[in-house]
Amino acid sequence: MNNVRRITFREALREALSEEMRRDENVIMLGEDIGEYGGGFRVTEGMIDEFGSGRILETPISETAFTGMATGAAITGMRPVVEYMFSDFMGVCFDQIMNEAAKVHYIYNGNYSVPMVIRSASGAGTGAAAQHSQSLENMYCHVPGLKVVMPSTPYDAKGLMKTAIRDNDPVIFLEDKLLYDTEGEVPEAEYTIPLGVADLKKKGRDITLITYGRMTGMCLEAAEMLKVKEGIEAAVLDLRSLLPLDRDAIIASVAETGRALIVHEAVKFAGFGAEILSTIMESRAFYKLKSPVRRLGAAFCPVPSAKKLEENVFPTPFSITDAAAELIKGV
């Protein structure tokens, strides 16, 4: 029997990492405080006891250095998993990510690959302020050669992490920090989830809420509010991975409901929602639209540390509900 447990997002990630390290001795981990301390968000807690300091590599505070080291290790046959405490820190080593890891397979005519995962805590909600609260996924989606993953549940986190580690391309794996303590059902048996396959978390006939990461839970909450308050049946489509993007799932759902509201935690201006919107507008779904497609995202400002100010920057179940209802009513 395939036993299913309720575990946290954090525990699901730890299981995926540990299982892949047992499965393949070439999988190693690099990052700051990932050993004895257990990682900035305790994802790697206890792993050094099983795998030792030869595979759980504590690094100096230099993301540029250990990202370059991981890229070289991947080229020579290892499968490194790099941890940045906060995704904001990717900025200091973007040259290694964008110009090296992402390009090696292409510039060497396919003779070399970079099977590397860069995982990091993303998003706001903890009062960590402007330099530790950003959602920067759109930056990586603009770079050919990278893959970008952003799960919303423990089940998806485990299955997608295992797939990412086995992938032969560099994968940016973003973990919304407010999801680490959330619980969900995860089977004990082995499973993986392919990249580029969205998940329809909730069916609906009136509007499609397209989202990913932490906003998936908010969209599901908004969908329940819409049903109770307005009698509106909203579908919730969780993209799960942004690169590759499941365009077929987006088009199919919007063609069925005739309306789309795109929701993400990242800044709305030039955010990933614009790519989703263009996918709809350039497809057969355009001819099925009953109202314009709308986007909800963060305000175009640095993230404040004060809780009340921070809350006003991002979409909420209430703002999602209001926007969806306005689309239905043609406001």
The residues annotated with a catalytic role in the active site are: 63, 132
The number of helix segments (H) and strand segments (E) in the chain equals: 12, 14
Cβ-based neighbour number of residue 129 at 10 Å? 14
Answer whether 206's CB lies under 8 Å from 257's CB: yes
**Would you call the peptide bond into 302 cis, given omega within 30 degrees of 0 as the criterion?**
no
Side chain identity, residue 96: Q
CA proximity to 136, closest of 114, 157, 121 = 121
Plot region of 270 (φ>0 → left; ψ -120 to 50 → alpha; else → beta): left
Given strand 294-298, what is the order of strands in its sheet?
199-202, 234-238, 207-211, 260-267, 294-298
